[in-house]
């Protein structure tokens, strides 16, 4: 049990895979290398599938179009017409987090198990949320939106700028980490066959649900920020 | 000292109780409303998922705090 605990602890901190030997050495974490791998994989996929597209879709193009259409419809339902320009970013984040969570099936450490990756993603989200409100309402409307529904709640609205990314970050990280710890415990008790159904749940189902929740909440917050209050 | 840290972590993980009850109530209501109005199941599912994600967050905070307690108070 003692060695298991220490092994678990060693799995928790982000490892450095190599150091770039300039400016006194820049450490590159394993999660970044895996992210590069996912980027390369998605780049190759998008190059392969987008080759010779036709007006009337055939073969794999049908699946591709329905998948992209589903993703776009999902975000457009939430954001509406004025949020159309944010669709590519949200779709990209959804595909990236989905791949990052599912990569655990192949025995590679998911990058989302690193707190720094989820923190970066949620920081990007909160910037986009505030930017979308700013863009839709202008500076005055954006500042005013903190005093809604009444000025008394302004401090709480202000605190939300920090709470939202924190909760987005911790939700993704905690879920992936929790699934990982439970899987390690199951593997310790029963190394063969029994982990398979649990792996289906924790790696595939939970990973996809968390992807969905992350982009869903981001777009919901954006919608909330973009909404123009008719009273003013 | 180690036992105290373990007890602290266990208390932190107790946040799971609240999340479990919350998600249970939400799912019960969602199944009820789907049974009453099957054509609205898409919207209900969306709202249920959002509620579950927010309710689950408390359990996740508890878990993260427990891990932090074990990591930093060792």
User: Which are the contacts of A12, defined by CB distance < 8 A and separation ≥ 6?
Assistant: A177, B67, B71
Check whether the bond before A149 is cis (ω within 30° of 0). Answer: yes
- Report yes or no: B6 at the A interface, CB cutoff 8 Å: no
- Report yes or no: A212 at the B interface, CB cutoff 8 Å: yes
> Residue A111: its pLDDT value, please?
86
Tell me the shortest Cα–Cα distance from B34 to chain A, in angstroms: 20
CB pair distance less than 8 Å for A170 and B60: yes
CB pair distance less than 8 Å for B67 and A177: yes
- The answer, yes or no, to whether residue A28 has pLDDT greater than 70, is yes
Tell me the shortest Cα–Cα distance from A145 to chain B, in angstroms: 23
Average pLDDT over residues A121-128: 92
> Residue A20: its pLDDT value, please?
73
> Residue A1: its pLDDT value, please?
60
Residues pairing with A27 in the sheet: A19
Mean pLDDT, chain A, as a whole number? 83
pTM above 0.90, yes or no: no
Burial A188-216 (b: 16+ CB within 10 A, else e): eeeeeeebeebbeebbeebbebbbbbbbb
- The answer, yes or no, to whether residue A124 has pLDDT greater than 60, is yes
**Which two structure tokens, joined as six digits, stand for A170?**
């911790």
Polymer length in residues for chain B: 74
| Digit-coded pLDDT (tens) for A148-165 | 778 888 888 888 888 889
- Report yes or no: B71 at the A interface, CB cutoff 8 Å: yes
Task: Please report the ipTM that was assigned to this predicted complex.
Answer: 0.77
| Digit-coded pLDDT (tens) for B2-39 | 888 889 889 999 999 999 999 999 999 999 999 999 89
């Amino acid at each position: 049990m003692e060695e298991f605990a220490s092994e678990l602890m060693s799995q928790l901190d982000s490892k450095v895979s190599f150091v770039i030997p300039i400016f006194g050495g820049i450490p590159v974490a394993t999660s970044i290398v895996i992210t590069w791998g996912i980027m390369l994989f998605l780049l190759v996929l998008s190059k392969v599938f987008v080759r010779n597209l036709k007006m009337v879709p055939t073969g794999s193009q049908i699946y591709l179009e329905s998948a992209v259409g589903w993703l776009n419809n999902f975000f457009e339902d939430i954001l509406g017409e004025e949020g159309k320009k944010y669709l590519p970013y949200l779709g990209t984040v959804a595909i990236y987090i989905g791949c990052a969570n599912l990569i655990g099936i192949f025995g590679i450490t998911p990058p989302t198990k690193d707190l720094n990756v989820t923190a970066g993603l949620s920081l990007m989200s909160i910037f986009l949320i505030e930017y979308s409100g700013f863009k839709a309402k202008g500076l005055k409307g954006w500042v005013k939106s903190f005093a809604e529904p009444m000025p008394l709640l302004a401090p709480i609205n202000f605190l939300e700028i920090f709470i939202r990314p924190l909760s987005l970050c911790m939700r993704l990280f905690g879920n992936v980490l929790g699934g990982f710890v439970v899987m390690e415990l199951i593997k310790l008790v029963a190394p063969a066959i029994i982990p398979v159904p649990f792996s289906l749940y924790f790696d595939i189902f939970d990973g996809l649900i968390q992807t969905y929740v992350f982009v869903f909440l981001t777009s919901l917050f954006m919608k909330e920020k973009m909404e123009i209050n008719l009273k003013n | 000292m180690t036992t105290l840290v373990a007890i602290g972590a266990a208390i932190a993980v107790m946040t799971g109780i609240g999340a479990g009850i919350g998600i249970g109530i939400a799912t019960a209501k969602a199944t009820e409303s789907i049974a009453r109005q099957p054509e609205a199941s898409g919207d209900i599912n969306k709202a249920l998922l959002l509620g579950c994600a927010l309710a689950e967050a408390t359990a996740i905070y508890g878990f993260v705090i427990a891990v932090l307690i074990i990591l930093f108070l060792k």
